[in-house]
Amino acid sequence: MNAIQEPDDFRNRGGDSGIDLQAALAMAGGDVALLRDLAGAFLDEVPRLIGSLRRALEEHDSALLRSAAHQLQGVMRCLHIERALHQSQSLEQHAEGTTDWPAVEKLLAELDETLEAAVGALKKFLNEPS
């Protein structure tokens, strides 16, 4: 197991990204390698899911919006990317009933900005020596 000795090493490493790396490490059972795998999986999936959200907005496809927003939440929950998690939950809720597409467009822009910071922080984390 590749666990770090002092979880405090992760305190504040998420910076302004909305990521709580210390909580994410705790969720990974203190296993840094597992946390790195989760971060890598998230980075691999984000472009596809954001593309699906954009396509849902362009096509006014509530089912696709709901599905992509829901899928995005899984790894965000594990990585404790709280701000983006709440934004994707809001997108999923907007897909219920009559969809307010201007509100969806605004939420998606906010999510893009949040994810840009999160992706940067995760790339930095993955580039750090183990």
Q: Are 20 and 82 in contact (CB under 8 A)?
A: yes
What lies within 8 Å, CB to CB, of 64 at 6+ separation is: 52, 55, 56
pLDDT surpasses 60 at 101? yes
Element (H, E) at 111: helix 101-127
- Give the range among 4-18, 37-51, 91-105, 109-123 with minimum mean pLDDT: 4-18
Measured distance CA(39)–CA(41) in Å, rounded: 5
| Long-range contact set of residues 104-110: C-beta below 8 Å, sequence gap at least 24 | 104/56, 104/57, 104/65, 105/57, 108/53, 108/54, 108/57
pLDDT by residue (tens digit) across 53-82? Answer: 999 999 999 999 999 999 999 889 989 999
Range 7-123 has CATH code 1.20.120.160: yes
pTM over 0.75: yes
Measured distance CA(27)–CA(79) in Å, rounded: 8
Share of the chain above pLDDT 70, in %: 86
Sequence spans of domains, the chain: 7-123
Question: Which of 104, 96, 98, 57 minimizes the C-alpha distance to 88?
Answer: 104
pLDDT by residue (tens digit) across 75-93? Answer: 899 899 999 999 999 999 9
Section 42-63 average pLDDT: 96
